[in-house]
């Protein structure tokens, strides 16, 4: 197993830098481990219709499912080395596939269809993370992690030759570049009112930038929101108040809408990759971290739609 941090730094607990984070922690706040046994947990998505969580175990080319009733089971294997997932406005699963180098959608009958796999005739690199806007458009990042080696997909050359952020209209298939100045774009999410878009860069910068969303479909006015350490900010979500809950190597770090670090939920794994809000009222933050999947109930409510 690769060691990214010394053992004494891998621990559980909270670091509270601001009363706004303290207020998010119930009196009995406790990180719960639901499953351990993945090689590299990523891409959690909560499915309200059925009250369960899906997430990716990328190197094992499988998707996992967890519910209070059923515990953890394998949902799909092989799965095209999926990474990030979300739901569309109809509640269908929409997935980034490193192996298939595509965005796929799982239909109500379980069949998996391709929404997009190329841009101007060139194959995508390896879609990483994904979000659906309230107008139905699908926004995703396309860094090269799935084609750098055979561990997270299939080693290959980039055909596009760049790492873009894309916006897809699923009905027309119209795909356009909305971000072209990233080293390795990764996580992304809208603010609750969709006036802002946050996108992380897990390449050289290791930060999250925030953009204004112009005309509902263009990104303008780029500025650095937060530089996240240790590690890099991989995946993140916002709550209804616009606070950002981002992964870092040490766990989940919580930032105010102004970019102030309010506190940390330390996760006892080498690297935490991603998180999502779930549960009937979206008060439970599910956390995908290396070998395990955790959750914690917070006095915070997920702001993502659906």
User: Which residues are at the interface with Mg ion (CB under 5 A)?
Assistant: 128-129, 186, 234-235
Looking only at the bridges linking them, the beta strands covering 41-47 and 82-87 are: unpaired
Which of residues 128 and 304 has its CB atom nearest to Mg ion in the complex? 128
Which of residues 61 and 234 has its CB atom nearest to Mg ion in the complex? 234
Which of residues 235 and 279 has its CB atom nearest to Mg ion in the complex? 235
Which of residues 24 and 209 has its CB atom nearest to Mg ion in the complex? 209
Which of residues 235 and 263 has its CB atom nearest to Mg ion in the complex? 235
Q: Torsions phi, psi of 97, nearest 5?
A: -120, 120
Question: What is the nearest approach in angstroms of Mg ion to the Cβ of residue 19?
Answer: 31
Which residues make beta-bridge pairs with 56? 42, 63
Question: What is the nearest approach in angstroms of Mg ion to the Cβ of residue 244?
Answer: 15
Residues 236-245 as b/e (b if ≥16 CB within 10 A, e otherwise) read bbbbeebbbb
Question: What is the nearest approach in angstroms of Mg ion to the Cβ of residue 143?
Answer: 8
Helix (H, G, I), strand (E, B) or coil at 66: strand
Which of residues 25 and 304 has its CB atom nearest to Mg ion in the complex? 304
Which residues make beta-bridge pairs with 212? 196, 220
Question: What is the nearest approach in angstroms of Mg ion to the Cβ of residue 145?
Answer: 8
Question: What is the nearest approach in angstroms of Mg ion to the Cβ of residue 42?
Answer: 6
| Residue 187 CA, distance from chain mean position | 5
Question: What is the nearest approach in angstroms of Mg ion to the Cβ of residue 23?
Answer: 29
Q: Any idea of the CA torsion for 267, 270, 274, 275, to the nearest 10 degrees?
A: -10
| Residue 293 in tokens | 């999947």
**Which H/E stretch holds residue 147?**
helix 145-148
């Amino acid at each position: 197993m690769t060691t990214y941090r010394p053992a004494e730094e891998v621990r559980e607990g909270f670091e509270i830098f601001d009363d706004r984070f303290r207020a998010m922690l119930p009196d009995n706040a406790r990180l719960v481990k639901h499953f351990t046994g993945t090689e590299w947990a990523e891409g959690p998505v909560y499915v309200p219709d059925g009250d369960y969580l899906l997430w990716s175990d990328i190197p094992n080319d499988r998707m996992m499912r967890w519910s209070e009733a059923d515990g953890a089971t394998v949902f799909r294997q092989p799965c095209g080395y999926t990474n990030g997932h979300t739901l569309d406005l109809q509640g269908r699963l929409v997935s980034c596939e490193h192996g298939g180098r595509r965005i796929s959608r799982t239909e109500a009958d379980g069949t998996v269809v391709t929404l997009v796999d190329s841009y101007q005739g060139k194959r995508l690199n390896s879609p990483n993370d994904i979000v659906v806007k309230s107008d139905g458009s699908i926004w995703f990042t396309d860094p090269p992690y799935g084609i750098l080696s055979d561990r997270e997909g299939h080693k290959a050359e980039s055909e596009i030759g760049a790492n873009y952020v894309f916006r897809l209209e699923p009905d027309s298939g119209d795909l356009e570049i909305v971000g072209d100045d990233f080293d390795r774009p990764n996580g992304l999410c809208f603010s609750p009112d969709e006036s802002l878009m946050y996108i992380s860069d897990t390449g050289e910068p290791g930060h999250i930038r925030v953009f204004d969303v112009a005309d509902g479909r263009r990104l303008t006015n780029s500025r650095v929101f937060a530089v996240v350490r240790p590690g890099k900010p991989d995946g993140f979500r916002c709550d209804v108040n616009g606070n950002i809950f981002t992964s870092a190597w040490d766990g989940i770090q919580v930032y105010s809408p102004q970019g102030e670090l309010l506190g940390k939920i330390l996760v006892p794994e080498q690297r935490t990759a991603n998180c999502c809000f779930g549960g009937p009222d979206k008060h439970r933050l599910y956390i995908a971290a290396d070998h395990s999947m955790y959750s914690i109930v917070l006095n915070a409510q997920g702001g993502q739609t659906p």
